[in-house]
Each structure stands twice: as C-alpha cells, then as structure tokens.
Structure 1
Amino acid sequence: MTKLSVNINKIATIRNARGGNMPDLLKAATDIERFGGQGITIHPRPDERHITYQDARDLKKIVTTELNIEGNPVPKFIDLVLEVKPDQVTLVPDAEDAITSNAGWDTIKYGSFLVKTIDLFKKEGIRTSIFVDPNPEMAKAAADTGTDRIELYTESYAKSFDQNEKQTGIAPFIETAKAATTAGLGLNAGHDLNLENVAYFQKNIPNLLEVSIGHALICEALYLGLENVVNMYLNRLT
C-alpha cells in the first residue's frame, strides 16, 4: 500500500482569510489521522500566507503519524526544519512569489548545493526528499546528493490524464521511478493528484511509497466530507 500524506495548506488558507482559528488547523490534522491518513504535509512559505512557521511548531507536538515539511531551503526554512525536526523534509525549488510549486530541481546543476543542505538535515536524523520532474537523469543525479527519496512532480501526468492520454503521460514517470529504484532511492509523488487519477498512477509506478495530496483532497471534501474522502483515497492506494 502507498501511504497517504494529506497536505493541509488549504485549511490554513481558509483560516487565514478571516483571522481567528476557524477552521482549527490542529484539529483538522488530528481528525485526518483519526480518519486513517498516514501523514500530514505542510508547505510554509516565507510570507506565511497559509501555513505559518508557528503552525509547524504546533503540529510537531500533535502529529502522531508522519510530519512532512516541504519548501525551498532558504536559510529561514532550514532553521525552521532543524528546530522542528519533522519526520521528513521535502526540498522544493519554488520562487517566493509562486502560487504553487511549478518545477522540480535540476539535480545536476544544483547538486553541490543539495549535498550541503541535505547533510544538515541528515545529521539531525530527518529523512530527506527532493522534488523532481519525471526525468531519469534527474533521479540518478539526486542519488548523488545523499537524499533518501525523491518526490515526482506529477502535474504533467494529471494534465495528460484529463486529456485522455494517460498512457503517454505516465511513461516518463515509470522510467524515472525505475531509475530511482535502481539508484537506491525511495519514491514519493505529488501535485494535482486527485480521486480520478491517483489509482492509475499508483498501480503503474513501481515502489511508490507515499503520495502527498492537498488541494484536490480539500476541494473534494467540500462535497463529500473529509472523512469520506480520506478513506476513498486509502481505498485507491491499496
């Protein structure tokens, strides 16, 4: 079974829209775990427009499954991760003003930087993952950084699925997954996965350990209910 880590950024976005504590982010995280979710993912950005740095500190105290913190490893982010010590840190090369993540690392070009950064986290016992595009060469070079895992950036797959070209769209992901496994890396995936496309992806990607899903899951929960949606994902990932 592939594990489901639920990204709760959107819950924080709704909370921040009105101030106060509605919806309660910590209660949502606890409920997601109670409903069967196997991890909580957050992606704090420097402007803290959804997840705040204090949210990361508070979640560390109450998450009992797995806490995954994503983000661009700027100094402020690195300091936060070293303070909180989540179970996993996922390095994402998103610009400060990016609405959402839109590209993976060039693990060849930025290899030396990633080696130094990953070493900081591994010395503290934090599992590391690098966000990468579906390119076998990027997976092979990622292994040279010392990372534990890569996370496949799945936007292109989701678009191809919507265009009824899922076999063509998933092909580079299969090849990248094989390259990652050969290089000894664990495999995660995320971005634009949803109830429609996640099962096909999971069944065709070998050795997929974990998916991180946020935006679609929260949108689907508006219609179907959070507990129901979490379990629908779990059924598709079995």
Structure 2
Amino acid sequence: MTTSHSSRTALSVNINKVALVRNTRHLGIPSVTRASQLCLEAGAQGITIHPRPDERHIRASDVYELAELMKQWPRAEFNIEGNPTQNLMEFIRQTRPHQATFVPDSEEQFTSDHGWTFPQDAERLKPLIDECRALGVRVSLFMDPVPEQMAAAKAVGADRVELYTEPYAAGWATPDKEQQLLTYAAAAQAALDAGLGINAGHDLNRDNLPEFVARVPGLLEVSIGHALIADALELGYAETVRAYQGCIDAGMAARK
C-alpha cells in the first residue's frame, strides 16, 4: 500500500470531551450524537471515540447510537479507539467501524501517553488485528515516532499507524520544534516505506497543526478532541471544524 504525499489529510473529531461534560449531570446534555452531527455537517471527515471500561466519558450506549448515526454519513469514517485487551473488541464486533485504533493504555490511565512496542506486543496484538481485518475493519496502531518500529507494525498486520503527537505539541513553541518535526517526518517515511498509512493525534491544535501537516509525509488523518472541543466552547462546532479544516488546507499548501 503506497500513500501519496499529496492526499488530503482528513479530520476526525474525537468527541470524548463532549461526553465528559454530559456525564457531570443526568440531563443528557450536551448530546454526543448532536455534536457529531454538527461536526459532520460542517465538513469533518470522521468521528472518533475512545470508550474506556469505566465509562467516564463515552458510554456503551453512545457507541451504538453513534454507529447508527454514522450510517447516515456514508462518506464519513467511524473510528473506535482503545485497548483491545479491555472492552474494545466487543464494540468492534457489534458495530464494525471503518477503523479500530489500538491504544496500549491501562484501565486507570488518565489519557494515552505512549505507543505499542515491538517485538514485546506482537504476540497479543496479532490475533486481535487478524480478527478485525476478518470483520472488514481497518486497524491502526498507536505508535511513538520511532522509525525502526514501523516495519514491525506492518509485520503484525496493521493497516496504519497513528503517530502519538504529544512530544511534538510539547516542543512546538520551543527550540525543540525542528527536531521534533524531523523525528516525525522520519517515522512517517519509515511507515510509508513499510506500506502503512499514517494517522496522527494527541494535543494537536490550531497553532501546531498546519506545520505538522506541511512537514509530515503521507498524513492521511488527524484525530483531534480536547483542543477542538475547547475551541468549540468559544466558536461553536461548525466554525471550529471549518477552522481546523483551514489549518489542514494551510499545511497542505505549504507542502513541498
């Protein structure tokens, strides 16, 4: 599988934080399905959710309601992420999303903070990846930007990798930014060379997104939640989605 550097990067909106606010009361607002619909109407190419076992944000009922909603948007992608050794696989079996993103977080972990490592994780991942692919579900593995790990991700059966971008985001306004961009570009190129598609996510925002899109080759999709939902509190869902699409367009225009 060869990915063109010129393919437009898609925006998938992670709506976990909408569910987090909703769960502080028993009124059912804000609605995660309404939030998803508004983002899709504004031009988002996908919706991402990360249902954790404790249901501290996305609940099991949300997964099934969103799966139904996404049937009304045949050109948009439904991405369910999580640890496949916890509660993820049953959701995948029941809803068959377009993409399953495997993330190696623990049940009590506040947020994802590292990727899979090989060969350590290969044996437990391979049968789960094989099952997803048999169900017609694309598999993306959440990975640190380590070029040497990309061929191993492909060898275990992954279709894509999602590059964990918190180190880039943390270094963006510092002298470390250029080195971070070089690191991610090298990891992306190694993934392309291995025949993998490339996604990215974690702490991307309107400030750091354009340069990341411009410099990282083959970037098919970015999954953005916290910053996008925070912006939506001020701007509204539609204007925020359009702003992030503008960031992607700016990055695409700056590609060489």
Whether TM-score is above 0.5 comes out as: yes
Letter in 2 for 1:146: G
**Correspondence for 1:197 among 198, 208, 216:** 208
Which residue number corresponds to residue 4 of structure 2?
A: none
5 Å-filtered alignment, 1:85-100, equals 85-100=96-111
CA distance in 1, matches of 2:86, 2:188: 30
Which residue number corresponds to residue 22 of structure 2?
A: 15
More deviation, 191-200/214-223: 214-223
Which residue number corresponds to residue 188 of structure 1?
A: 199
**Correspondence for 1:51 among 40, 44, 58:** 58
Letter in 2 for 1:213: I
1:70/1:138 CA distance change after superposition, 3 Å: same
Q: What's the secondary structure of 2:100's corresponding residue?
A: strand
What's the offset of the Cα at 1:164? 4.2
CA distance in 1, matches of 2:240, 2:175: 24
Q: What's the secondary structure of 1:109's corresponding residue?
A: coil
More deviation, 58-67/33-42: 58-67
CA distance in 1, matches of 2:186, 2:170: 18
What's the offset of the Cα at 1:165? 2.7
Contact 2:53–2:86 (8 Å) recurs in 1 = no
Contact 2:99–2:138 (8 Å) recurs in 1 = yes
Q: Which runs of 5+ in 1 are unaligned?
A: none
Which residue number corresponds to residue 135 of structure 1?
A: 146
Which residue number corresponds to residue 68 of structure 2?
A: 61
More deviation, 141-150/19-28: 19-28
Q: What's the secondary structure of 1:49's corresponding residue?
A: coil
CA distance in 2, matches of 1:236, 1:75: 35
CA RMSD of aligned residues (A): 1.0
What's the offset of the Cα at 1:140? 1.5
**Per-residue CA distance 1:18-67 (angstroms, 9 max, x = gap):** 12211111111111100111100000000011001111111000122110
Give me the identity figure in percent.
45
Contact 2:52–2:87 (8 Å) recurs in 1 = no
Contact 2:22–2:28 (8 Å) recurs in 1 = yes
Contact 2:50–2:81 (8 Å) recurs in 1 = yes
**Runs of 4+ more than 3 Å apart:** none
CA distance in 1, matches of 2:69, 2:126: 31
Which residue number corresponds to residue 226 of structure 2?
A: 215
Q: What's the secondary structure of 1:162's corresponding residue?
A: coil
CA distance in 2, matches of 1:164, 1:158: 12
5 Å-filtered alignment, 1:77-116, equals 77-116=88-127
CA distance in 2, matches of 1:136, 1:82: 31
Give TM-score, length-normalised by structure 1.
Answer: 0.98
**Per-residue CA distance 1:75-124 (angstroms, 9 max, x = gap):** 53211211111110000000101111011000321112111110010000
Letter in 2 for 1:26: T
Q: Which runs of 5+ in 2 are unaligned?
A: 1-7, 250-256
Which residue number corresponds to residue 73 of structure 1?
A: 84
Letter in 1 for 2:231: E
Asked if 1:160 is matched to 2:160, the reply is no
Which residue number corresponds to residue 117 of structure 1?
A: 128
CA distance in 2, matches of 1:164, 1:4: 28
Contact 2:81–2:88 (8 Å) recurs in 1 = no
